[in-house]
Amino acid sequence: MQKLLLNREIYEDFVLEHIPNARQFIWIITADIKDMYVEAGGSFVPFLQVLADLVANGVAVRLIHAKEPGPRFREDFDRFDELVNSELFERILCPRVHTKAIIIDNSIAFIGSPNLTGAGMGSKHEDKRNFEAGFVFDNPEYLHELVSWVDELYLGQYCHTCRRRDYCPDPIDESFSNR
């Protein structure tokens, strides 16, 4: 399966349909990260609540982002003990990340233009949200390649040759020489 998603379709066909159904893991890679609200149980809740519920149900969540989250995101984050204290929730910051992707259970992925923000992927009204595009796919070869690349990034493989170390507030791998 390979499907183009445009604008609100990203929210309706991927965020609402696939993310809450993760069973093993969900990896989220984004440049920018802000508070985002989604429909759940007849009301709107912080997306972080969806992630916290997944963690509480044994789903491992990995979040890779390039910028410090916005203030409302940080405020919401601190309310969810599952995200603050569980070993199933992992987060790293890498200023070089510009990729926007979500991988679920090594079985489906989304790659596209939206950051993890309300205007990008969230439930914002169509007249307030960004114009975004992306693809959802389940091709095993592409999934394997994407999962391997994200894992290398997460494990700090690129830190050893990174020439942006001076701009990195929280190095993934601090055991390398900068020059």
pLDDT score of 131 more than 80 = yes
The lowest-confidence range among 57-61, 78-82, 156-160 is 156-160
Query: Mean pLDDT across the stretch 46-54?
Result: 96
Instruction: State the pTM of this model.
Output: 0.92
Question: Exposed, middle or buried, 106 (CB in 10 Å: 0-12/13-18/19+)?
Answer: middle
State the CB neighbour count (10 A cutoff) for residue 163.
9
pLDDT score of 157 more than 70 = yes
- Nearest CA to 151 out of 22, 27, 33, 18 is that of 27
State the CB neighbour count (10 A cutoff) for residue 100.
21
Terminal-residue alpha carbon distance, the chain: 44
Rounded to whole angstroms, how far apart are CA atoms 16 and 164?
A: 36
Question: Tell me, which fold does domain 2-167 have in CATH?
Answer: Endonuclease; Chain A (3.30.870)
Q: What is the DSSP letter of 85?
A: H
What is the pLDDT at residue 178?
A: 43
- Look up residue 105 and give its amino acid: D
More confident residue, 123 or 28: 28
For 67-114, what is each residue's pLDDT tens digit?
A: 989 888 999 999 999 999 999 999 999 999 999 999 999 999 999 999
The residues spanned by each domain of the chain are 2-167
Q: What is the DSSP letter of 67?
A: S
Rounded to whole angstroms, how far apart are CA atoms 15 and 62?
A: 16
Q: What is the DSSP letter of 33?
A: B
